[in-house]
Structure 1
Amino acid sequence: MNTALFVAAAYLIGSISFAVIVSKLLGLADPRSYGSKNPGATNVLRSGSKKAAILTLLGDCLKGVVAVLLAKCLGPQYGVAENGIALVALAVFVGHLWPVFFRFKGGKGVATALGVLLAINGWLGLATLATWLIIAYAFRYSSLAALVAAVFAPFFYCLMFGTDGMLLAIVAMSALLIYRHAKNIGNLLAGKESRLGSKGSKKK
């Protein structure tokens, strides 16, 4: 029962869409109305506001950190085992993808996944972030960097900690992240994907 409560709380935390909230507070257009229509930091950047994009990135990352750290710190007191914490990690990510507060239309989960990985283990998160940075710098595609990092995250975890319930949760997150990037994969293959730093039209 307590595990279910922690999982539900994590899902609700994940359902907070910082892209929409930050944009509204700063008087910007709803990120679901322009560009890729994805409520995430990359699309918010297309509004022309770096401040909004950075705040969105930090907020989405932080909610992954908070949900998992709360479960790790408080969960054992209430009988939440390691597998329960793994479910919490997955739940906050799923909340970002399909937020109950925003008609289940969420982002692609890159920043939230990073927050989850950092909370699981700092080195795991940093290794995954380094992978993203290397690919992004080399090819200038945010989506490609996210896809490669998603593939490597379970590999990094397995090298560090072996196979367990948390590995399964990370594999599930990676699979969902790749699924959410299906359109980007098509654009990459067709040579139509926008590069980092390019200004996308708000009417796309």
Structure 2
Amino acid sequence: MSSIALTIGFAVFGYLLGSVSTAVVVCRALRLPDPRGEGSGNPGATNVLRIGGRLPAALTLVGDFLKGTLPVLIARAVTDDMAAIAVVGLAAFAGHLYPLFFGFRGGKGVATGLGVLLGWSWMAAALTGGSWLLVAMLTRLSSFSALMAFLLAPSFLWWTTHSAVLAGTMAIMTLVLYWRHRSNIANLVAGKEKKIGL
């Protein structure tokens, strides 16, 4: 199989796996309201926490994380083609944001993006997660913590892998993640963003 065909195949695989909306699946299984129509309307762990509590939120978080990590690990087990490994992660991230199976109404990408990052480099993922935790402890603002952590993620990835392909792909994901968080950014500027625990 040519490298182009392999890359395309992994892109399709990553996107389809990413398109499984964990939040919607968990809420349906536990007979909770559809997260796309409740709370913030975002099918992510934070909104599921508001709707159903800690267990559904934890299941959503783990599912969103794994659908970023697993396709990257599978790709790495099959090939050392860095383009294919980068594309499968980007595709899984895109699937989470714009899921084929759920009307293209997806989440904001934090957990899945971190899962992809773990598949690329556990050290970069640990540094990014640590950055999120530090900022969250100081500010108690989840969205701000995610924005700051992902701003640093491409640098962490370059530092740990020296791969321009991976670091560049992570930079694209960060830009998209900022776009998906534009309402949170507006709330942060206006001082209206809710703090963790409220």
TM-score bucket (shorter structure):
over 0.9
Q: 1:63 aligns with which of 61, 67, 70?
A: 67
**Which among 21, 26, 34 is matched to residue 22 of structure 1?**
26
Q: How much does 1:48 deviate?
A: 4.0
2:98 paired residue number: 98
Percent identity reads 46
* Alignment match, 2:13: 9
- Please name the residue that 2:172 is paired with: 172
Q: CA deviation at 1:179?
A: 0.7
- Amino acid in structure 2 at the alignment position of 1:179: W
Corresponding residue of 2:49: 45
Paired position in structure 2 for 1:107: 107
Decide which of 34, 37, 42 is 1:33's aligned counterpart.
Answer: 37
TM-score normalised to the size of structure 2? 0.95
Distance (whole Å) between structure 2 residues aligned to residue 163 and residue 66 of structure 1:
20
Q: Using structure 1 for the length normalisation, give the TM-score.
A: 0.92
**Number of positions where the alignment pairs a residue of Structure 1 with one of Structure 2:** 194
Query: Which has the higher relative contact order, 1 or 2, with Cα contacts under 8 A spaced 6 or more apart?
Result: 1
Q: Which amino acid aligns with 1:185?
A: I
Corresponding position: 1:181 with 2:198: no
Matched, 1:139 2:132: no
Structure 2: distance between partners of 1:96 and 1:155: 23
Code of the residue aligned with 1:88 in structure 2: it is V
RMSD, aligned α-carbons = 1.0
TM-fit CA distance, 1:85: 1.0
Superposed CA offset, 1:26-49 (max 9, x none):
111111112210000011111141
Classify the secondary structure of the residue corresponding to 1:2.
helix
2:6 alignment partner AA: N
Aligned partners of 2:130, 2:14: CA distance in 1, in Å?
26
**Which residue of structure 1 lines up, in the alignment, with residue 128 of structure 2?**
128
Q: Does 1:74 align with 2:87?
A: no
CA distance in 2, matches of 1:33, 1:27: 14
* Partner residue, 1:201: none
Per the TM alignment, residue 163 of structure 1 is displaced from its structure 2 partner at its CA by 4.5
CA distance in 2, matches of 1:161, 1:54: 30
- Structure 2's unaligned 5+ residue stretches are none
* Greater than 4 Å deviation, 4+ residue runs: none
Cα distance in 2 for partners of 1:38, 1:181 equals: 11
Partner of 1:192: 192
How far the C-alpha of 1:160 sits from its partner, in A, is 2.0
Tell me how far 1:69 sits from its aligned partner: 0.2
* 1:118 shift after superposition: 0.9
* Separation in 1, partners of 2:182, 2:149: 15
Residue matched to 2:152: 152
Partner Cα distance (1:144, 1:101) in 2: 29
